[in-house]
Amino acid sequence: MSTGSKLKYVIELQARKQGSYLVVFSIIMIVIALGVAIGFSYLMRSPEGGDMLYLATGAPTIVLIMTALVTVPMQNAGAKMTGYLDFVKALPVGRKLFLIADVGIWALVTVPAIAISVFVAHLIFEPGYAISWTIVPAFVLMVLSCFAIGYGYSFVMPAELAMALSQLIAFISLMFSPINFPIERLPGWVQAVHEVLPIYHMAEVMRASLAHTTFEAEPISYIMLGAWTVVGFFGAARFLERA
């Protein structure tokens, strides 16, 4: 049997197992994205163009982080504890197909939230979006790096620890990450940490694609995301292939 049809069956298994939960989750993500773009604007006395654009271009990054670095790792930790991953590892297919199928399904879940939040934010605030063609490769790179890290840490770490870390990531990415505000507002040492972590670079690349006339991402951001992708997938694949 071809790898293509095996992949099809793995996708079917994963998609039908989660079923309506995937729909519920994509709706929740739409709410979160709108919450970041609209809700956070209430934090500011009079949101000016620049600040508003930060929120409007930050929301899609938050969606990716909440999905790939928070929700999926929680799921994976659960799958590990219930023995579902052992079941997956014993299926008569290549184990990397599971990773490909699952990343594909979850990446699709984020698309409506990202598209709708951008569209609604544009209607309400007209923050100054200027969508570049680079959105497509940038989205692919962000999806890959985000999910690679999410799968990587949740597979490699003990389940309980991965669950705890996922909650920490949710909190830090919302409050202490330069996604919804410029990095310069953070203390120097936090800036230095963010230069190494992937969150800041994701936000930079997302911003540069959604508002290319206002923002520009440094090449280092693309390189960092590429590096995190490799590290994450290496860890996840190693876990799956390990005896």
Minimum gap (Å) between residue 95 Cβ and other proteins:
8
Range 214-243, binding other proteins (CB under 8 A):
243
Site track for other proteins across 89-118, x = CB under 8 A: xxxxx-------------------------
Report the site for other proteins in 4-23 (rule: CB under 8 A).
5-6, 9-10, 12-13, 16-21
Residue 187 engages other proteins in binding (rule: CB under 8 A):
no
Is residue 147 within 8 A of residue 103, CB to CB? The reply is: yes
To other proteins, the closest distance from the beta carbon of 240 in angstroms equals 11
Residue 139 CA, chain-centre distance (Å), reads 10
- Which secondary-structure segment (H or E) carries 53? helix 49-64
What is the distance between the alpha carbons of residues 22 and 174, in angstroms, rounded to a whole number? Answer: 23
Over its C-alpha atoms, the chain yields an Rg (Å, rounded) of: 18
What are the two backbone dihedrals, phi and then psi, of residue 130, each rounded to the nearest 5 degrees? -145, 95
Comparing CB distances to other proteins, the nearer of 18 and 214 is 18
d(CA 162, CA 169): 10
Structure-block tokens of residue 7: 């992949």
Size of the site for other proteins (CB under 8 A): 24
Task: Based on the shown chain and the rule CB under 8 A, indicate whether residue 87 belongs to the binding site for other proteins.
Answer: yes
Residue 41 C-beta: closest distance to other proteins, Å: 37
Burial annotation 76-115 (CB, 10 A radius, 16+ → b, else e): bbebbeeeebeebeeeebebebbbebbbbbbbebbebbbe
Our finding on whether 46 is near other proteins (CB under 8 A) is no
Minimum distance, C-beta of residue 148 to other proteins, in the bound complex (Å): 23
- Footprint of other proteins (CB under 8 A): 1, 5-6, 9-10, 12-13, 16-21, 82-84, 86-87, 89-93, 243
